[in-house]
Amino acid sequence: MNKDDKKILLNILTDTSTIPNTLLDYYRDLGLSEEETLFLIVLLRLQQNKYALTIKNMAKNSAYREEEVMRLVPVLIDKGFLALANDGSIVLDGLVEKFLEVQSWQALKTEQKIRKERKNSRTDSSFAELYQCFEGEMGRPLSPIEGERIRYWYKNLKIPAELIRAGLTRAVLLGKNNFRYIEAILLSWQRKNIHSVRELELMENNEENSRKKRPSSEHDSRTFRKEQDDDELFSDDIYEVF
């Protein structure tokens, strides 16, 4: 390639127009077809080159025929991207307003993303605290399987962290700090629609008040049966090791 050819190519490459990335990235969200988007890009180029945006000028200084310009302009006016000035020329004020709408929409999406990330961060923080609580009560590092079991209760079963901690505390106080027993407690509470420590306390208070109102012989009999049921419910032999 000789010097003259290189010079011609350089002129071609440097003959560029500024195209807003917003238009290229979000033209479908703006309700534009590819044909309409390309036409708007041509209008932006003509405006940058100081051409008056009349039907004749648009046809004369672009690859569009006059009938094509006359077909596209009304469509884009209807969509709010273009407007007619008093002198009959086309103005791009609507396009500017559309860009501002997209910027507001982008800002909203960014804010929502930040909120979601913060929420996930808080959730992960709660799980980390729960994990540390278990290691503290167990007095040892947890195995990967045990960690996944806690995650299953917390993430899949949607059991609140405070209720999982309550189940852990209950098991430790009873001297049965193993995961089978803890899970049995949590599932028992879940079947009773207990979703918070407050609800657990109310349920246990109601049960205690009900026991106090029963005759002594009935109370002793039911207490004995309940203890038997509890021993069966939380027996290590009937739960699969997780």
Per-residue pLDDT tens, the chain, 242 aa: give them. Answer: 565 654 544 344 345 556 677 788 888 888 899 999 999 999 988 888 888 899 898 999 999 999 999 999 999 999 999 988 888 888 888 887 887 887 788 788 878 877 775 666 555 778 888 999 999 998 899 888 898 999 999 989 999 999 999 999 999 999 888 899 999 999 999 999 999 999 999 998 888 888 877 765 555 555 445 444 444 444 443 333 33
> By three-state DSSP, how is residue 87 classified?
coil
DSSP H or E stretch at residue 84: strand 83-84
- Please name the residue ranges forming H helices in the chain: 3-14, 21-26, 34-48, 55-60, 66-78, 93-138, 144-151, 161-173, 179-191, 197-213, 216-233
Q: Decide: 201 and 190 in contact? Cβ < 8 Å.
A: no
Question: What structural domains and CATH numbers belong to the chain?
Answer: 3-98 (1.10.10.10), 143-238 (1.10.10.630)
**Distance from the Cα of residue 165 to its chain's centroid:** 27
Q: Say what the pTM is.
A: 0.43
Cα-Cα end-to-end distance for the chain: 73
Q: Decide: 73 and 55 in contact? Cβ < 8 Å.
A: yes
Q: What is the pLDDT of residue 166?
A: 94
Q: Report the length, in residues, of the chain.
A: 242
Q: Decide: 153 and 242 in contact? Cβ < 8 Å.
A: no
Q: Decide: 13 and 50 in contact? Cβ < 8 Å.
A: no
Q: Decide: 163 and 189 in contact? Cβ < 8 Å.
A: yes
Q: What is the pLDDT of residue 199?
A: 92
Q: What is the pLDDT of residue 185?
A: 94
How far CA 167 is from CA of 2, 74, 185, 197, in Å, comes to: 83, 69, 6, 10
